[in-house]
Amino acid sequence: MTTTTTAAAQARTLPRFGGFSTGMLALELRRLIRNKRTVVFTFVMPAAFFLIFGTSAEYRHDQLARGNVTGYIMVSMAVYGAMLATTSGGAMVSIERAAGWSRQLRLTPLRPAAYIGVKLVLAMAIGAVSVAVVNVVGAVAGAQLDTGPWLACALLSWVCALVFAAFGLFMGYLLPSENVMQILGPALGILGFAGGLFVPVDQFGSTFAALAKFTPVYGVGEVARYPLTHSDHLWQAILNVVLWTGLFAAGAVWRFRRDTARV
C-alpha cells in the first residue's frame, strides 16, 4: 500500500512534457533580455552591417530577377542576424554551467530533451526578432523584392537558423567561459564569410567554393535566398541544413547529459 501511494505521489509531481512549459520560457526570455550586450550584438549589428555594405546607390539600382542587389544583401544580413541571435540564445547555457545550475537540474524531474527544447525555442524567438529588424531596416533603406519572395526569404532565414540554435547549445557546453559569445562572435563572422554571406561563393576560387559548400552557413544562406535567386543547388543546401542541425543537436544533448551527470 505504501509503495503504491509513493509511486502515485511521484507520478503526480512529474511535470508535463518533461518540464517544458511557458513559465520556464518566460523566465528564460526575461533573463536574456536583461543582457544588454546580447541585445545590441544580435539586433543592432546585423542591421548596421546591412546599412554600411548594402545600401549604396549602385546596389539599389542593380536589378535581379525578383528584386535588387540591396534586397539580396538584406537577406544575407537577415541570415547573419538570425545566426548571431540563435547562437547567443543557445550559448547562454555557459552561464548556467559556470554557476553550477546545470548540475542542479540533475536533481529535478526536468528531462534533458525538455531543457534543450526550451533553449531552442528561446533562441528561435530572438532569431525571429533579429530577422524582423533587418527586414524593416531593409524596407526603409531601399531593398526591393517581390512580396512573395520577400516573405519567403524572411521565413526561411528564421527557420533555417535552427542550425545555429543547436550550434549555440553545443558550444555553450563545450566552452567554459561565461563570455562565450566573445569567442563565438568572430567564429560566426569567419563562417559567414566562408559560407558566402558576405561574398558570393561563385566569386571564390574553385577550391574555396567547393569547401564552402560543407560549412553550415552555406546551406542556410542558399535556402534563405532561394525565393530570390532560384539557385540550382537547393537540395544540396537543404541536405546541408538537415545534417548540421542533427549533428549540433545530438552534440548538445550528449554534452548536457554528460555535464549534469557529474553531481
Number of domains in the chain: 1
Classify residue 75: in a domain, yes or no. yes
Q: What is the DSSP letter of 233?
A: T
Classify residue 45: in a domain, yes or no. yes
Handedness of CA 142, 221, 169, 158 (dihedral sign): positive
Classify residue 12: in a domain, yes or no. no
Q: CA-to-CA distance for 73 and 134, rounded, in angstroms?
A: 10
Domain that holds residue 147: 19-260
Q: CA-to-CA distance for 243 and 11, rounded, in angstroms?
A: 37
Classify residue 7: in a domain, yes or no. no
Classify residue 162: in a domain, yes or no. yes
Classify residue 1: in a domain, yes or no. no
Residues 6+ positions from 123 with CB-CB distance below 8 Å = 85, 86, 87, 88, 89, 90, 164, 165, 168, 169
Classify residue 170: in a domain, yes or no. yes
Classify residue 250: in a domain, yes or no. yes
Q: What is the DSSP letter of 63?
A: B
Q: Hey, what amino acid is at 58?
A: E
| Tens-level pLDDT at each residue, the chain (263 residues) | 445 444 444 444 555 545 556 666 676 677 666 767 777 777 888 999 999 988 888 888 787 778 888 999 999 999 999 998 888 877 777 777 766 666 666 666 666 667 777 777 888 888 899 999 999 999 999 888 989 999 999 999 999 999 998 898 888 888 766 667 778 888 898 999 989 898 888 787 788 888 888 999 999 999 999 999 888 889 999 999 999 999 998 888 787 777 666 55
